[in-house]
Amino acid sequence: MPETLKDTETTKDGTAAVPGPTAATMAASTKPEKARSLWSDAWHDLRRNPLFVASAILITILVVMAAFPQLFTGADPRYADLANHYLQKPNWSHVFKEDWFGYDVQGRSIYARVIHGARNSILVALVVTALVTVIGTATGMIAGYFGGLIDTLLSRVTDIFFAVPFTLGAMVVLTSFEERSVWVVILALAFLGWTQIARVARGSVLTIKQADYVMAAKALGASTSRILLRHILPNAIAPVIVVATISLGGYIGSEATLSFLGIGLAEPAVSWGVDISSGQEQLRNAAFVLIIPSIMVSITVLAFIMLGDAVRNALDPKLR
């Protein structure tokens, strides 16, 4: 009898038997699945996480609203009509109209200001997050990889900045400027906000630099920059991304807090924090002037916190 399996065989009674599996079929069925990387595995989990989907949709709407406010309203957020619209109450039946959220003490459309105010608030948060991520990651990687005196100096500098209360330090920095534009607020927040990411990056690098693939790269004569950028950074960036995503919502709250205290953005800038500051005097007789921009800040901060939690759960194998 030939050694290879035939496609069909006959039984003793002459009937055709069901074809048996071939050797190629058996090999294909036992072939292991291709292993997924950390990022592909995380994306696989994120797509099935309702928390991530909801927060991503909400953040997308907010970013589009900040980039293209004319898609949501054609009203001028700075146009004031005291004669006709002084503290006019919201008209909830006019959805997506100028008077949907009412008018403030200067007769300006609160709906238009909420839409246009998203640009400055989200711009501050995104740029500050990008700056502190770059500064903190670079500082933490250098300190963790080289160690010794360099690690000691950078760690002590980080501790000095970390010891300064964030809001109080930002207030001190901002009061030294006569004109507080959006970029001044961004630089003030980034100047003090990089310390947490630096600590996270340093701790991650201290663990990863002992890995076998890093030792092998050193033995093969790879340069320090290549080891840091090609081997350590891709494997140490996951916890940094988690911290940066969660912190992004906090920077929106910080900008609103500073503007509320009269130290951040100021008129004629359009911002949620500016509107909250100007609406605090109308809390008793027209609370909607204060409540509506406050709700927008809360929704935006919550969306980024939800996104950060979802990313953390996807990138942490223990939580998965």
pLDDT digits (tens, 9 = 90+) for 12-54: 555 544 455 555 444 444 545 555 666 777 788 888 889 899 9
Please indicate, yes or no, if residue 7 is contained in any of the structural domains.
no
Please indicate, yes or no, if residue 29 is contained in any of the structural domains.
no
Please indicate, yes or no, if residue 276 is contained in any of the structural domains.
yes
Domain count, the chain: 1
Please indicate, yes or no, if residue 241 is contained in any of the structural domains.
yes
Please indicate, yes or no, if residue 105 is contained in any of the structural domains.
yes
Distance CA 97, CA 59 (A): 22
Least confident of 23-37, 73-87, 207-221, 293-307: 23-37
Structure confidence at residue 2 (pLDDT): 46
pLDDT surpassing 80 at residue 223: yes
Return mean pLDDT, the chain. 85
Distance CA 252, CA 248 (A): 7
Structure confidence at residue 36 (pLDDT): 64
Please indicate, yes or no, if residue 126 is contained in any of the structural domains.
yes
Please indicate, yes or no, if residue 84 is contained in any of the structural domains.
no
pLDDT surpassing 90 at residue 96: no
Structure confidence at residue 261 (pLDDT): 86
The predicted-structure confidence for 129-164, as pLDDT tens digits, reads as follows 999 999 999 999 999 999 899 999 999 999 999 999
The count of other CB atoms within 10 Å of the CB of residue 310 is: 23
Average pLDDT of the segment spanning 270-299 = 89
How far, in whole angstroms, is CA 29 from its chain's centroid? 42
Average pLDDT of the segment spanning 295-306 = 92
Distance CA 14, CA 292 (A): 84
Please indicate, yes or no, if residue 300 is contained in any of the structural domains.
yes
Distance CA 214, CA 283 (A): 60
DSSP structure string for 164-210: S-HHHHHHHHHHT-SS--HHHHHHHHHHHH-HHHHHHHHHHHHHHTT
CATH number at residue 49: 1.10.3720.10
| Selection from 24-33, 134-143, 204-213, 230-239 with the highest mean pLDDT | 134-143
Residue 278's pLDDT band (boundaries 50, 70, 90)?
Answer: confident
Structure confidence at residue 320 (pLDDT): 56
Residue 62's pLDDT band (boundaries 50, 70, 90)?
Answer: very high
Domain that holds residue 122: 38-78+96-315
